[in-house]
Structure 1
Amino acid sequence: MTDTIDTSIATPSYSVTQERRIVTAIPGPKSEELHRRRLAVVPRGVSSALPVYIAKANGAILVDVDGNQFIDLGAGIGVTTVGHTEKAVVDAAAGQLQDVIHTLFTITPYEEYVRVAELLAEHTPGDFEKRTVLVNSGAEAVENGVKIARKHTGRNGVAVLEHAYHGRTNLTMAMNFKAAPYSTGFGPFAGDVYRAPNSYPYHDGLSGTEAAARTINYLEKTVGAADLACLVVEPIQGEGGFVVPAEGFLPALQEWCTAQGIVFIADEIQSGMARTGAYFASEHFGLVPDMVLSAKGIAGGLPLAGVTGRAEIMDAAQPGGLGGTFGGNPVAAAAAIAVFEQIEAGSLLAEAKRIEQTLYAGLLELQAKYDIIGEVRGIGAMVAIELVEPGTASTTKTPNAEAVNAIVAFAAQRGVLVLTAGTYGNVLRFLPSLAVSDALLADALSVLDEAFASLGA
């Protein structure tokens, strides 16, 4: 079995040819053997979208243990934004491994942590004085953001939006909109979390002003502004299906929060770090959040996350109130510095916009051919299509999760990895690295075309 499409990039910077190549069944025999071993020692709760085991990754290509090469349109859910094993990031991390691997910043600090904090202060929206605490993961960043907001305001309430996803810790499970599979059976959960209506233009048809009025009215009536410490929003929702709010929605919420003394927190864990053609998606909406949460793409694949906010808010926590054993690890921090440098050196903000143009145009062509594609949406290299039942795209917009699952499976068999999303599992989301070429995107789109055609859509 061979399916080879040559879309290689003629550049010595890639250690893996940038092409799709299938040479065995998917999964192959070596992956199947590894999967048998995995089932014996890893709990079923740690599931995988595809039991294909990766041996090497570079640029926008994953190579499995059987030698199959996949176009990666997920980038580890938006983590390897600068590309898999990007040389500058690898070199920075390797160099740091030779110097200091760990001391714990709260005992004996080091420059790399400070430099990452400086870069976040420079690149997050707002020209005011800022502070940053570094932690390990997105969920940990959310936890610390809420903790700091509560300390600053002296209030307990936490407001989130419909279709939000913030993590798998106790607090963040309570903040998520979708229960299964993230929180089913894991309660009781943290209290004082309130879920308000979001702006979802494809489904609610509201203007930004109308949607904001609905959200604010809900929070004022069901919670009371005086009891809210923070409002946590994803400027573009990730797991929720790359929902882009109507124009004016987020600025109106921010204005209300400021007037009420509520900390406005932008969860940019998936949408930040050049993903949308800006350092942070907030910039597309004219937002200047009180606090920005970073993770995923910040360190090129190493575990790192940050909470960056107004100095007076961040300094509310007493000495010893923030930190953690591995937060801001020197190796991860060195990698993050290299990521910031590569965003500039590689003009990656422009690359995200290039990807949007190519991918968005290709998906619109597919929408014109297949009526189960209800909407194409997104910004930069963060694009999605929402699938609906045939004939419902402009009426009931009935979710079509079955078609999403079939397309993902079809594409994987042909060497294209695509992620799912959406509260109802009916969204295909595209999060390619910014190293992906137009040729690879065109190849992937051709596979998706075949996938839709196979459904008789």
Structure 2
Amino acid sequence: MSATPIGGPTLPQERKLVTAIPGPKSQEMLARKNAAVASGVGVALPVSIVAAGGGVMVDVDGNSLIDLGSGIAVTGVGNSAPKVVEAVVNQVQQFTHTCFTITPYDGYVQVAEKLNELIPGDFEKRSALFNSGAEALENAVKIARHYTKRDAIVVFDHAYHGRTNLTMGLTAKNMPYKDGFGPFAPEIYRVPASYPFRDGLSGAEAAEQAITQIEKQVGSTNVAAVIIEPIQGEGGFIAPAEGFLPAIQQWASANGVVFVLDEVQTGFARTGDLFASQHEGVVADLVTTAKGIAGGLPLSAVTGRAEIMDSAHAGGLGGTYAGSPISCAAALATIETYEAENLTERAREIGAIIEEFFGNLQQSDSRIGDIRGRGAM
């Protein structure tokens, strides 16, 4: 390449290969990576990216690649989206950091106000901001335990909630996330999730199975929170049978259990609704968000009922970089882009195209047993 391309919307939206993958310059970088970066930080695609825009990435060798990974469900408004870039540049020129718990700033408050408005639920809400999905889940557990004065946390088969010590305990999959990293936090209990293709159960039947196990093995009066992804992402893009989520939510409400929806991967237009829980009108006590919230910058949140969120004492929530002013500026621009460009409808269009393609393929290939997901997920 004669010059490094400029990312953003002007980058040609095309797949173009000019070398083998990885190319020689990417191979040089990977050799340096292996010498400098811990082996546990793996890579899926062995290339070195120098520019990205929309849904395309360009590597150091000049190859243009379609970005189907979107940074693990992050760049829902496209890479280097113009409004996001503008907002970040403006914020960096104003100030870069104060720590909100030392000197607060308006961007954090604006993001909290917007989340309180957008997250489903006709009740007063509060939000707290963090850096990653795992941090949001950790804090949801802290808040639920503080509010209920109970210890037990219930999660589900196939769940993924993060890679910190606590969230590894919440996560089901051992390899590659948990193997050799234990012991994990106690008082975490796992029950069957709805998996229609494998279990053949209706939503009501699957919920009854899960609830029965909770009541027999844990006891409803011991449970602080039930945590579930409305569509399980890392576990296999598993959408539960209709009626499963509402039944679990109703049981939690009836037993004083905090119902937590992990919308880290499903949130922000990805499934054809702004939040996947809206598909069945399920309303949670607490909702965790991250990934698609800030156009590629690190930000996450816990949003929920004011009485639950406010139960934690001052100083009990927060962090040095939690709710960075730069990430908050990016989040406000990202949410504006979702709304202005009607990206929920775009996700439905993408979903329809994918379902039709694989549906036709399924007719001629008996190896395809299940086509699952929703919208662009």
Compute the TM-score of the two structures, normalised by the length of structure 1. 0.80
* Correspondences of 1:389-404 after superposition (within 5 Å): none
1:115 aligned to which of 104, 110, 118:
110
Higher strand share: 1
1:271-290 aligned within 5 A: 271-290=266-285
Please tell me whether residue 168 in structure 1 is matched to residue 136 in structure 2: no
Moved more, 191-200 or 50-59: 50-59
1:104 aligns with 2:102: no
Paired AA for residue 358 in structure 2: L
- Supply the distance in 2 between the matched residues of 1:90 and 1:289 (Cα, whole angstroms): 33
Cα distance, 1:381 vs. partner?
0.7
Distance in 2, matches of 1:63 and 1:364, equals: 32
- Kindly provide the amino acid, as one letter, of the partner of residue 245 in structure 1: P
Q: CA-to-partner distance for each residue in 1:1-60, whole Å, 9 max, x for gaps?
A: xxxxxxxxxxxx722111111110011001000000000011111001121111111001
Deviation at 1:61, TM superposition (A): 0.5
Q: Deviations over 1:238-266 (max 9, x none)?
A: 10011000010010000000000000000
Of 122, 142, 145, 2:140 maps to 145
Number of corresponding residues: 370
Q: Which amino acid aligns with 1:125?
A: P
Q: SS where residue 206 of structure 2 aligns?
A: helix
| Residue 127 of structure 2 corresponds to residue 132 of structure 1 | yes
CA distance in 1, matches of 2:306, 2:37: 43
Residue 263 of structure 1 corresponds to: 258
> Deviations 1:255-306 (Å, cap 9, x if unpaired)?
0000000000000000001111111100002200000000000000000000
1:313 maps to 308
Structure 2 residue matching 1:374: 3-state secondary structure: coil
In the TM superposition, residue 366 of structure 1 has moved relative to its aligned partner by 2.4
Q: Secondary structure at the match of 2:373?
A: strand
Structure 2 unaligned residues grouped into runs of 5+: 1-7
In structure 2, the residue matched to 1:443 is: none
Say which of 342, 347, 352 aligns to 1:357: 352
Deviates more, 1:222-231 or 1:49-58: 49-58
The match for 2:55 is 60
Taking the aligned partners of 1:167 and 1:369, their CA distance within structure 2 comes to 38
The residue that corresponds to 2:289 in the other structure is 294
Contact 2:9–2:80 (Cα < 8 Å) also in 1: no
Structure 2 letter corresponding to 1:131: R
Please list every run of at least 4 consecutive aligned residues from structure 1 whose deviation after the TM superposition is greater than 3 angstroms. Answer: none
Q: Residue 36 of structure 2 aligns with which residue?
A: 41
SS class of match (2:369)? strand
**Counterpart mapping for 1:53-452 below 5 A:** 53-382=48-377
CA distance in 2, matches of 1:147, 1:159: 14
Gaps of 5+ in 1: 1-12, 383-457
Describe the SS at the equivalent of 2:190: strand
Q: For the residues of structure 2 that align with 1:144 and 1:297, how far apart are their CA atoms? A: 19
Please point out which of 24, 32, 45 is paired with 1:29: 24
2 CA distance for matches of 1:371 and 1:15?
42
